[in-house]
Amino acid sequence: MGFPKDFLWGGATAANQCEGAYLKAGKGLSTADVMAVGEHGVPREITDGIVEGKYYPSHNAIDHYHHFKEDIALFSEMGFKCYRMSIAWSRIFPNGDEEVPNEEGLKHYEEVFDTCLQFGIEPVVTLSHFETPLGLLKYGSWENRKVMDFYLRYCKTLFTRYKGKVKYWISFNEINVMSTKPWMAGGINTNNEQTRMTAAYHQFLASAKAVQMAHEIDSNNKVGMMYNGHVAYPNSPDPEDVQTTVDFMHKMLFYADVQCRGYYPAYKLKEFERKGIVLPIQDGDLDELIGGKVDFLSFSYYATHVIGKKTDLNFEGLNGVKTGYKNPYLSTSDWGWTIDPMGLRYLLNLLYDRYQIPLMIVENGLGAVDKVEDDGSIHDLYRINYLKEHIKEMEKAIEIDGIPVMGYTMWGPIDIIAASTGEMKKRYGFIYVDVDDNGKGTFRRIKKDSFYWYKKVIESNGENLDLLEAKEIY
Protein backbone atom coordinates (compact mmCIF):
# COMPACT_ATOMS: atom_id res chain seq x y z
CA MET A 1 0.00 0.00 0.00
CA GLY A 2 1.20 3.57 0.49
CA PHE A 3 2.30 5.58 -2.52
CA PRO A 4 1.38 4.36 -6.03
CA LYS A 5 4.16 2.66 -8.00
CA ASP A 6 4.07 5.38 -10.65
CA PHE A 7 4.10 8.23 -8.13
CA LEU A 8 5.95 11.28 -9.46
CA TRP A 9 8.57 12.27 -6.89
CA GLY A 10 10.58 15.36 -7.75
CA GLY A 11 11.18 19.04 -7.23
CA ALA A 12 9.97 22.36 -8.61
CA THR A 13 11.54 25.63 -9.75
CA ALA A 14 10.53 28.72 -11.74
CA ALA A 15 12.53 30.15 -14.62
CA ASN A 16 12.58 33.69 -13.24
CA GLN A 17 13.87 32.47 -9.88
CA CYS A 18 16.64 30.19 -11.11
CA GLU A 19 17.67 30.70 -14.74
CA GLY A 20 19.37 34.10 -14.78
CA ALA A 21 20.82 34.96 -18.22
CA TYR A 22 17.98 37.45 -18.43
CA LEU A 23 18.86 38.80 -21.90
CA LYS A 24 20.74 35.76 -23.21
CA ALA A 25 20.11 34.49 -26.74
CA GLY A 26 17.38 36.92 -27.65
CA LYS A 27 15.31 36.82 -24.48
CA GLY A 28 13.16 39.89 -23.83
CA LEU A 29 12.32 41.53 -20.52
CA SER A 30 9.55 40.12 -18.37
CA THR A 31 7.59 41.51 -15.44
CA ALA A 32 9.94 39.61 -13.10
CA ASP A 33 12.97 41.39 -14.60
CA VAL A 34 11.83 44.79 -13.32
CA MET A 35 11.33 43.65 -9.72
CA ALA A 36 14.25 45.00 -7.68
CA VAL A 37 15.40 43.25 -4.53
CA GLY A 38 13.62 43.64 -1.21
CA GLU A 39 14.89 42.69 2.21
CA HIS A 40 13.74 40.27 4.90
CA GLY A 41 10.02 40.89 5.12
CA VAL A 42 10.02 43.70 2.51
CA PRO A 43 8.31 43.26 -0.88
CA ARG A 44 10.31 43.74 -4.07
CA GLU A 45 10.06 47.10 -5.82
CA ILE A 46 8.46 47.25 -9.26
CA THR A 47 10.41 49.74 -11.36
CA ASP A 48 9.71 51.46 -14.67
CA GLY A 49 12.14 49.46 -16.79
CA ILE A 50 15.66 48.69 -15.60
CA VAL A 51 16.89 51.46 -13.29
CA GLU A 52 20.64 51.96 -12.90
CA GLY A 53 21.86 51.26 -9.38
CA LYS A 54 19.02 48.87 -8.53
CA TYR A 55 19.67 45.16 -8.03
CA TYR A 56 17.37 42.78 -9.89
CA PRO A 57 17.73 39.20 -8.58
CA SER A 58 16.20 37.49 -11.64
CA HIS A 59 18.96 38.80 -13.91
CA ASN A 60 21.51 36.29 -12.59
CA ALA A 61 19.60 34.16 -10.05
CA ILE A 62 21.59 30.89 -9.70
CA ASP A 63 22.49 30.76 -13.41
CA HIS A 64 20.53 27.56 -13.96
CA TYR A 65 20.47 28.56 -17.64
CA HIS A 66 24.16 27.61 -17.92
CA HIS A 67 24.16 24.97 -15.15
CA PHE A 68 21.01 23.01 -16.05
CA LYS A 69 22.89 19.86 -17.08
CA GLU A 70 24.78 19.78 -13.80
CA ASP A 71 21.63 20.55 -11.81
CA ILE A 72 19.47 17.94 -13.56
CA ALA A 73 22.23 15.36 -13.04
CA LEU A 74 22.02 16.12 -9.31
CA PHE A 75 18.24 15.74 -9.45
CA SER A 76 18.77 12.38 -11.13
CA GLU A 77 21.20 11.34 -8.40
CA MET A 78 18.37 11.89 -5.92
CA GLY A 79 16.15 9.71 -8.10
CA PHE A 80 13.72 12.32 -9.39
CA LYS A 81 10.85 10.91 -11.42
CA CYS A 82 9.80 14.38 -12.59
CA TYR A 83 11.00 17.97 -12.65
CA ARG A 84 8.42 20.73 -12.47
CA MET A 85 9.87 23.79 -14.19
CA SER A 86 8.66 26.74 -16.20
CA ILE A 87 9.42 28.22 -19.58
CA ALA A 88 10.19 31.92 -19.72
CA TRP A 89 7.60 33.21 -22.21
CA SER A 90 9.93 36.08 -23.20
CA ARG A 91 12.64 33.60 -24.24
CA ILE A 92 10.26 32.30 -26.88
CA PHE A 93 8.51 35.55 -27.83
CA PRO A 94 10.77 38.35 -26.52
CA ASN A 95 8.06 41.03 -26.55
CA GLY A 96 5.17 38.60 -26.34
CA ASP A 97 3.48 39.74 -29.57
CA GLU A 98 5.89 38.55 -32.30
CA GLU A 99 4.52 36.31 -35.03
CA VAL A 100 7.68 34.21 -35.23
CA PRO A 101 9.25 32.60 -32.13
CA ASN A 102 12.86 32.97 -31.05
CA GLU A 103 14.58 29.79 -32.22
CA GLU A 104 17.43 30.10 -29.73
CA GLY A 105 14.95 30.04 -26.88
CA LEU A 106 13.17 27.00 -28.28
CA LYS A 107 16.48 25.16 -28.69
CA HIS A 108 17.47 25.90 -25.10
CA TYR A 109 14.37 24.27 -23.63
CA GLU A 110 14.66 21.39 -26.07
CA GLU A 111 18.09 20.71 -24.55
CA VAL A 112 16.63 20.95 -21.06
CA PHE A 113 13.87 18.45 -21.87
CA ASP A 114 16.28 16.09 -23.64
CA THR A 115 18.55 16.16 -20.59
CA CYS A 116 15.62 15.35 -18.31
CA LEU A 117 14.48 12.48 -20.51
CA GLN A 118 18.00 11.04 -20.73
CA PHE A 119 17.86 10.68 -16.94
CA GLY A 120 14.34 9.28 -16.99
CA ILE A 121 12.89 12.48 -15.52
CA GLU A 122 9.43 13.54 -16.71
CA PRO A 123 9.17 17.31 -17.36
CA VAL A 124 6.14 19.00 -15.78
CA VAL A 125 6.04 22.40 -17.46
CA THR A 126 4.36 25.59 -16.30
CA LEU A 127 3.55 27.82 -19.26
CA SER A 128 3.29 31.10 -17.35
CA HIS A 129 5.00 31.35 -13.98
CA PHE A 130 4.97 34.96 -12.73
CA GLU A 131 6.72 36.46 -15.78
CA THR A 132 4.52 38.03 -18.43
CA PRO A 133 6.56 39.58 -21.28
CA LEU A 134 7.02 43.25 -20.45
CA GLY A 135 6.22 44.14 -24.05
CA LEU A 136 2.59 43.13 -23.48
CA LEU A 137 2.04 45.93 -20.99
CA LYS A 138 1.48 48.33 -23.89
CA TYR A 139 -1.77 46.43 -24.49
CA GLY A 140 -2.76 46.62 -20.82
CA SER A 141 -1.48 43.08 -20.22
CA TRP A 142 -4.20 40.57 -19.28
CA GLU A 143 -6.86 43.27 -18.99
CA ASN A 144 -6.85 43.22 -22.80
CA ARG A 145 -8.43 40.21 -24.53
CA LYS A 146 -5.82 40.48 -27.29
CA VAL A 147 -3.14 39.19 -24.89
CA MET A 148 -5.02 35.89 -24.79
CA ASP A 149 -4.27 35.47 -28.50
CA PHE A 150 -0.56 36.05 -27.92
CA TYR A 151 -0.59 33.47 -25.10
CA LEU A 152 -2.32 30.91 -27.32
CA ARG A 153 0.25 31.47 -30.08
CA TYR A 154 2.93 30.80 -27.48
CA CYS A 155 1.12 27.66 -26.29
CA LYS A 156 0.67 26.31 -29.81
CA THR A 157 4.38 26.84 -30.47
CA LEU A 158 5.34 24.85 -27.37
CA PHE A 159 2.75 22.07 -27.73
CA THR A 160 3.89 21.52 -31.31
CA ARG A 161 7.64 21.82 -30.80
CA TYR A 162 7.80 19.62 -27.72
CA LYS A 163 5.26 16.99 -28.72
CA GLY A 164 6.49 13.66 -27.39
CA LYS A 165 8.91 15.32 -24.97
CA VAL A 166 6.45 16.97 -22.57
CA LYS A 167 3.02 15.63 -21.68
CA TYR A 168 2.30 17.36 -18.35
CA TRP A 169 1.52 21.08 -18.57
CA ILE A 170 0.25 23.72 -16.13
CA SER A 171 -1.40 26.76 -17.72
CA PHE A 172 -0.78 29.43 -15.05
CA ASN A 173 1.19 29.28 -11.83
CA GLU A 174 -0.94 29.99 -8.75
CA ILE A 175 -3.66 31.69 -10.78
CA ASN A 176 -5.48 32.92 -7.66
CA VAL A 177 -2.51 35.22 -6.95
CA MET A 178 -4.43 37.63 -9.22
CA SER A 179 -6.36 38.42 -6.02
CA THR A 180 -3.27 38.92 -3.86
CA LYS A 181 -0.29 39.96 -6.02
CA PRO A 182 -1.64 40.82 -9.50
CA TRP A 183 1.69 42.10 -10.87
CA MET A 184 3.19 38.65 -10.41
CA ALA A 185 0.06 36.91 -11.67
CA GLY A 186 -0.19 38.88 -14.88
CA GLY A 187 1.50 42.27 -15.03
CA ILE A 188 -1.49 44.03 -13.45
CA ASN A 189 -0.30 46.82 -11.15
CA THR A 190 -3.53 47.92 -9.49
CA ASN A 191 -5.84 46.88 -6.68
CA ASN A 192 -8.92 47.75 -8.75
CA GLU A 193 -11.20 44.73 -8.52
CA GLN A 194 -12.81 45.24 -11.94
CA THR A 195 -9.36 45.19 -13.54
CA ARG A 196 -8.25 42.12 -11.61
CA MET A 197 -11.40 40.18 -12.43
CA THR A 198 -11.21 41.14 -16.11
CA ALA A 199 -7.60 39.91 -16.23
CA ALA A 200 -8.56 36.70 -14.42
CA TYR A 201 -11.42 36.12 -16.87
CA HIS A 202 -9.04 36.37 -19.82
CA GLN A 203 -6.63 33.94 -18.15
CA PHE A 204 -9.47 31.47 -17.49
CA LEU A 205 -10.53 31.64 -21.12
CA ALA A 206 -6.95 31.39 -22.38
CA SER A 207 -6.36 28.33 -20.19
CA ALA A 208 -9.55 26.66 -21.40
CA LYS A 209 -8.59 27.20 -25.02
CA ALA A 210 -5.04 25.96 -24.30
CA VAL A 211 -6.38 22.76 -22.72
CA GLN A 212 -8.40 21.98 -25.83
CA MET A 213 -5.49 22.88 -28.11
CA ALA A 214 -3.10 20.65 -26.14
CA HIS A 215 -5.48 17.69 -26.46
CA GLU A 216 -5.89 18.27 -30.20
CA ILE A 217 -2.15 18.44 -30.83
CA ASP A 218 -1.32 15.39 -28.73
CA SER A 219 -3.92 13.17 -27.08
CA ASN A 220 -1.32 12.20 -24.46
CA ASN A 221 -1.14 15.76 -23.14
CA LYS A 222 -2.50 16.44 -19.66
CA VAL A 223 -3.06 20.07 -18.66
CA GLY A 224 -3.59 21.16 -15.09
CA MET A 225 -4.42 24.34 -13.24
CA MET A 226 -2.45 25.50 -10.23
CA TYR A 227 -3.94 26.81 -7.01
CA ASN A 228 -1.94 28.85 -4.52
CA GLY A 229 -2.90 26.65 -1.60
CA HIS A 230 -4.50 29.20 0.70
CA VAL A 231 -6.54 27.32 3.28
CA ALA A 232 -8.03 28.64 6.50
CA TYR A 233 -9.51 27.66 9.85
CA PRO A 234 -12.13 29.77 11.68
CA ASN A 235 -10.78 31.66 14.68
CA SER A 236 -13.59 30.28 16.85
CA PRO A 237 -17.05 28.64 16.68
CA ASP A 238 -18.51 32.15 16.52
CA PRO A 239 -20.75 32.01 13.43
CA GLU A 240 -19.30 35.32 12.23
CA ASP A 241 -15.79 33.83 12.30
CA VAL A 242 -17.03 30.77 10.44
CA GLN A 243 -18.82 32.81 7.77
CA THR A 244 -15.80 35.07 7.24
CA THR A 245 -13.71 31.94 6.72
CA VAL A 246 -16.19 30.73 4.11
CA ASP A 247 -15.96 34.14 2.42
CA PHE A 248 -12.16 33.95 2.43
CA MET A 249 -12.13 30.49 0.88
CA HIS A 250 -14.62 31.61 -1.78
CA LYS A 251 -12.22 34.39 -2.80
CA MET A 252 -9.49 31.81 -3.26
CA LEU A 253 -11.33 28.72 -4.49
CA PHE A 254 -13.46 30.41 -7.15
CA TYR A 255 -10.39 30.26 -9.44
CA ALA A 256 -10.30 26.49 -9.09
CA ASP A 257 -14.10 26.33 -9.41
CA VAL A 258 -13.93 27.96 -12.85
CA GLN A 259 -11.00 25.92 -14.14
CA CYS A 260 -12.11 22.56 -12.74
CA ARG A 261 -15.89 22.88 -13.19
CA GLY A 262 -15.93 25.07 -16.29
CA TYR A 263 -18.17 27.86 -15.02
CA TYR A 264 -18.36 30.70 -12.52
CA PRO A 265 -19.96 29.69 -9.21
CA ALA A 266 -23.18 31.40 -8.14
CA TYR A 267 -21.59 32.98 -5.08
CA LYS A 268 -19.04 34.80 -7.27
CA LEU A 269 -21.63 36.00 -9.77
CA LYS A 270 -23.70 37.43 -6.91
CA GLU A 271 -20.61 39.18 -5.56
CA PHE A 272 -19.96 40.73 -8.98
CA GLU A 273 -23.60 41.86 -9.09
CA ARG A 274 -23.27 43.58 -5.70
CA LYS A 275 -19.99 45.28 -6.66
CA GLY A 276 -21.00 46.25 -10.19
CA ILE A 277 -18.25 44.13 -11.76
CA VAL A 278 -19.00 43.17 -15.35
CA LEU A 279 -17.17 40.34 -17.11
CA PRO A 280 -16.23 40.92 -20.80
CA ILE A 281 -18.10 37.83 -22.00
CA GLN A 282 -18.38 37.33 -25.76
CA ASP A 283 -20.43 34.81 -27.72
CA GLY A 284 -19.05 31.31 -27.30
CA ASP A 285 -16.88 32.11 -24.27
CA LEU A 286 -18.94 30.13 -21.77
CA ASP A 287 -18.85 27.06 -24.02
CA GLU A 288 -15.06 27.41 -24.19
CA LEU A 289 -14.83 27.43 -20.38
CA ILE A 290 -16.87 24.24 -20.16
CA GLY A 291 -14.93 22.58 -22.97
CA GLY A 292 -11.55 23.47 -21.48
CA LYS A 293 -11.81 22.06 -17.99
CA VAL A 294 -8.41 20.97 -16.69
CA ASP A 295 -7.26 17.35 -16.42
CA PHE A 296 -5.77 17.70 -12.95
CA LEU A 297 -5.43 20.21 -10.14
CA SER A 298 -1.96 21.07 -8.88
CA PHE A 299 -1.30 23.29 -5.91
CA SER A 300 1.30 24.77 -3.61
CA TYR A 301 1.17 24.28 0.14
CA TYR A 302 3.26 26.09 2.73
CA ALA A 303 0.99 27.31 5.52
CA THR A 304 -2.54 27.71 6.85
CA HIS A 305 -4.39 30.83 7.98
CA VAL A 306 -6.73 31.65 10.83
CA ILE A 307 -9.67 33.81 9.74
CA GLY A 308 -12.27 35.70 11.76
CA LYS A 309 -14.70 38.57 11.71
CA LYS A 310 -11.94 41.19 11.91
CA THR A 311 -10.12 39.81 8.82
CA ASP A 312 -9.93 42.34 5.98
CA LEU A 313 -10.76 40.48 2.77
CA ASN A 314 -9.11 43.12 0.56
CA PHE A 315 -5.78 41.46 -0.15
CA GLU A 316 -2.47 43.21 -0.66
CA GLY A 317 1.07 43.27 0.74
CA LEU A 318 4.04 40.89 0.83
CA ASN A 319 2.12 37.63 1.00
CA GLY A 320 -1.16 39.11 -0.12
CA VAL A 321 -3.03 38.05 3.02
CA LYS A 322 -3.07 39.58 6.50
CA THR A 323 -5.71 37.87 8.59
CA GLY A 324 -5.29 39.58 11.97
CA TYR A 325 -4.99 36.23 13.76
CA LYS A 326 -2.30 33.70 14.67
CA ASN A 327 -2.68 30.00 15.33
CA PRO A 328 -1.54 29.30 18.92
CA TYR A 329 -1.17 25.59 18.17
CA LEU A 330 1.44 25.93 15.42
CA SER A 331 5.06 27.01 15.20
CA THR A 332 6.35 29.26 12.43
CA SER A 333 9.29 29.38 10.03
CA ASP A 334 12.06 31.99 10.12
CA TRP A 335 9.84 34.03 7.80
CA GLY A 336 6.73 33.76 9.97
CA TRP A 337 4.86 31.15 7.93
CA THR A 338 2.91 28.62 10.00
CA ILE A 339 4.16 25.04 9.91
CA ASP A 340 1.11 22.80 9.65
CA PRO A 341 1.66 19.31 8.18
CA MET A 342 -1.88 18.16 9.01
CA GLY A 343 -3.20 21.09 7.02
CA LEU A 344 -1.85 19.42 3.89
CA ARG A 345 -4.09 16.40 4.41
CA TYR A 346 -6.99 18.72 5.17
CA LEU A 347 -6.46 20.64 1.92
CA LEU A 348 -6.08 17.45 -0.13
CA ASN A 349 -9.45 16.28 1.19
CA LEU A 350 -11.08 19.65 0.62
CA LEU A 351 -9.91 19.88 -3.00
CA TYR A 352 -10.72 16.29 -3.95
CA ASP A 353 -14.14 16.38 -2.31
CA ARG A 354 -14.89 19.54 -4.26
CA TYR A 355 -13.58 18.59 -7.72
CA GLN A 356 -13.08 14.80 -7.94
CA ILE A 357 -10.06 15.04 -10.26
CA PRO A 358 -6.44 13.92 -9.70
CA LEU A 359 -4.31 16.18 -7.52
CA MET A 360 -0.61 17.00 -7.56
CA ILE A 361 1.38 18.83 -4.89
CA VAL A 362 3.78 20.92 -6.93
CA GLU A 363 5.22 23.15 -4.21
CA ASN A 364 5.91 22.40 -0.55
CA GLY A 365 9.01 23.30 1.39
CA LEU A 366 10.71 25.23 4.16
CA GLY A 367 12.52 28.51 3.59
CA ALA A 368 15.32 28.77 6.15
CA VAL A 369 18.77 30.18 6.78
CA ASP A 370 21.35 27.44 6.16
CA LYS A 371 24.85 27.39 7.64
CA VAL A 372 27.82 26.00 5.73
CA GLU A 373 30.13 24.32 8.24
CA ASP A 374 33.92 24.62 8.11
CA ASP A 375 34.11 21.22 6.41
CA GLY A 376 31.59 22.27 3.75
CA SER A 377 28.69 20.24 5.17
CA ILE A 378 25.19 21.62 5.69
CA HIS A 379 23.13 19.98 8.41
CA ASP A 380 19.52 20.91 7.66
CA LEU A 381 17.65 18.58 10.01
CA TYR A 382 14.90 21.21 10.33
CA ARG A 383 14.16 20.85 6.60
CA ILE A 384 14.16 17.05 6.78
CA ASN A 385 11.74 17.13 9.72
CA TYR A 386 9.45 19.58 7.93
CA LEU A 387 9.27 17.50 4.76
CA LYS A 388 9.02 14.22 6.66
CA GLU A 389 5.92 15.34 8.53
CA HIS A 390 4.25 16.70 5.39
CA ILE A 391 4.97 13.53 3.42
CA LYS A 392 3.43 11.48 6.26
CA GLU A 393 0.21 13.47 5.97
CA MET A 394 0.21 13.14 2.19
CA GLU A 395 0.49 9.37 2.59
CA LYS A 396 -2.47 9.35 4.99
CA ALA A 397 -4.54 11.22 2.42
CA ILE A 398 -3.69 8.54 -0.15
CA GLU A 399 -3.84 5.49 2.11
CA ILE A 400 -6.68 6.36 4.48
CA ASP A 401 -8.74 8.89 2.54
CA GLY A 402 -8.34 7.34 -0.91
CA ILE A 403 -7.29 10.54 -2.65
CA PRO A 404 -5.59 10.14 -6.06
CA VAL A 405 -2.38 12.14 -5.68
CA MET A 406 -0.26 12.07 -8.84
CA GLY A 407 3.00 13.35 -7.43
CA TYR A 408 4.96 15.58 -5.11
CA THR A 409 7.50 18.15 -6.28
CA MET A 410 8.99 19.95 -3.30
CA TRP A 411 9.92 23.60 -3.68
CA GLY A 412 12.88 24.21 -4.68
CA PRO A 413 15.20 21.23 -4.79
CA ILE A 414 18.05 23.66 -5.37
CA ASP A 415 18.39 27.06 -3.69
CA ILE A 416 16.80 29.82 -5.79
CA ILE A 417 15.84 33.45 -5.22
CA ALA A 418 12.69 34.10 -3.18
CA ALA A 419 9.75 35.28 -5.28
CA SER A 420 8.42 37.81 -2.78
CA THR A 421 11.68 39.46 -1.63
CA GLY A 422 14.37 38.28 -4.08
CA GLU A 423 16.54 37.04 -1.23
CA MET A 424 18.95 34.12 -1.51
CA LYS A 425 19.26 33.61 2.23
CA LYS A 426 15.72 32.21 2.31
CA ARG A 427 16.84 28.78 1.15
CA TYR A 428 14.62 25.82 0.33
CA GLY A 429 16.90 23.42 -1.49
CA PHE A 430 18.50 20.04 -1.03
CA ILE A 431 21.36 21.63 -2.96
CA TYR A 432 23.09 24.76 -1.67
CA VAL A 433 24.18 27.36 -4.21
CA ASP A 434 27.03 29.67 -3.20
CA VAL A 435 25.35 32.98 -4.05
CA ASP A 436 24.42 35.75 -1.62
CA ASP A 437 21.61 38.31 -1.54
CA ASN A 438 23.65 40.60 -3.80
CA GLY A 439 24.24 37.94 -6.45
CA LYS A 440 27.86 37.41 -5.42
CA GLY A 441 29.51 34.02 -5.04
CA THR A 442 31.13 31.09 -6.80
CA PHE A 443 27.78 29.52 -7.86
CA ARG A 444 29.17 26.21 -6.60
CA ARG A 445 26.58 23.52 -5.87
CA ILE A 446 26.84 21.72 -2.49
CA LYS A 447 24.72 18.77 -1.31
CA LYS A 448 22.97 19.26 2.02
CA ASP A 449 22.08 16.44 4.41
CA SER A 450 18.53 16.62 3.09
CA PHE A 451 19.84 15.64 -0.38
CA TYR A 452 20.75 12.18 0.89
CA TRP A 453 17.57 11.89 2.93
CA TYR A 454 15.31 12.66 -0.05
CA LYS A 455 17.24 10.15 -2.13
CA LYS A 456 16.27 7.47 0.42
CA VAL A 457 12.67 8.62 0.39
CA ILE A 458 12.41 8.27 -3.39
CA GLU A 459 14.32 4.96 -3.49
CA SER A 460 11.79 3.51 -1.04
CA ASN A 461 8.80 5.20 -2.74
CA GLY A 462 8.07 7.05 0.47
CA GLU A 463 8.43 4.04 2.76
CA ASN A 464 11.67 5.15 4.42
CA LEU A 465 11.35 8.54 6.08
CA ASP A 466 13.86 7.80 8.83
CA LEU A 467 16.45 10.40 9.70
CA LEU A 468 19.97 9.81 8.45
CA GLU A 469 22.97 8.75 10.42
CA ALA A 470 26.32 10.38 9.66
CA LYS A 471 27.60 7.28 7.87
CA GLU A 472 24.68 7.51 5.44
CA ILE A 473 25.60 11.04 4.44
CA TYR A 474 29.32 10.83 3.78
d(C-alpha 96, C-alpha 454), whole Å:
38
What average pLDDT does the segment 264-270 reach? 98
Which residue, 172, 185, 184, is CA-closest to 223?
A: 172
- pLDDT value at residue 81: 98
Beta strand 35-36 with 45-46 is: antiparallel
> Helices 341-355 and 381-399: crossing angle, nearest 10°?
30
- pLDDT value at residue 318: 45
Active site residue 399: no
What average pLDDT does the segment 317-321 reach? 58
What average pLDDT does the segment 209-215 reach? 98
Q: Average per-residue pLDDT in the chain?
A: 95
Question: Any residues with CB less than 8 A from the CB of 103 and at least 6 apart, and which?
Answer: none
d(C-alpha 365, C-alpha 110), whole Å:
28
In this predicted structure, the answer to whether residue 311 has a pLDDT above a threshold of 60 is yes
The dihedrals phi and psi of 428, each to the nearest 5 degrees, come to -115, -20
pLDDT tens for each residue of 426-460: 999 999 999 999 999 999 999 999 999 999 999 99
- pLDDT value at residue 467: 76
Amino acid identity, residue 186?
G
Beta strands in 102-142 (DSSP E): 122-126
In this predicted structure, the answer to whether residue 110 has a pLDDT above a threshold of 70 is yes
Dihedral of alpha carbons 348, 353, 82, 101, sign: negative
In this predicted structure, the answer to whether residue 469 has a pLDDT above a threshold of 90 is no
pLDDT band at residue 41 under the 50/70/90 scheme: low
What average pLDDT does the segment 262-273 reach? 98
pLDDT band at residue 40 under the 50/70/90 scheme: low
CB 260 within 8 A of CB 204: no
pLDDT tens for each residue of 157-166: 999 999 999 9
- pLDDT value at residue 293: 98
Residue 68: enclosing H or E segment and its boundaries? helix 64-78
pLDDT band at residue 366 under the 50/70/90 scheme: very high
pTM: 0.96
d(C-alpha 427, C-alpha 344), whole Å:
21
Query: What domains can be seen in the chain, in order of their start residue?
Result: 8-473 (3.20.20.80)
CA 96, chain centre distance (Å) = 21
Question: Any residues with CB less than 8 A from the CB of 311 and at least 6 apart, and which?
Answer: 244, 248, 323, 324, 325
Catalytic-labelled residue, pool 122, 131, 143, 363: 363
The dihedrals phi and psi of 201, each to the nearest 5 degrees, come to -60, -45
Active site residue 363: yes
d(C-alpha 12, C-alpha 422), whole Å:
17
What average pLDDT does the segment 210-229 reach? 98
Count, residues in the chain:
474
Catalytic-labelled residue, pool 174, 288, 393, 423: 174
- pLDDT value at residue 243: 97
CA neighbours closer than 13 Å in the CB half-sphere of residue 375: 5
Which residues, in sequence order, are bridge partners of residue 225? 297
d(C-alpha 76, C-alpha 70), whole Å:
10
Q: Is the pLDDT higher at 42 or at 120?
A: 120
pLDDT tens for each residue of 271-300: 999 999 999 999 999 999 999 999 999 999
| Residue 1 burial class via C-beta count within 10 angstroms: exposed 0-12, middle 13-18, buried 19 and up | exposed
Q: Is the pLDDT higher at 37 or at 13?
A: 13
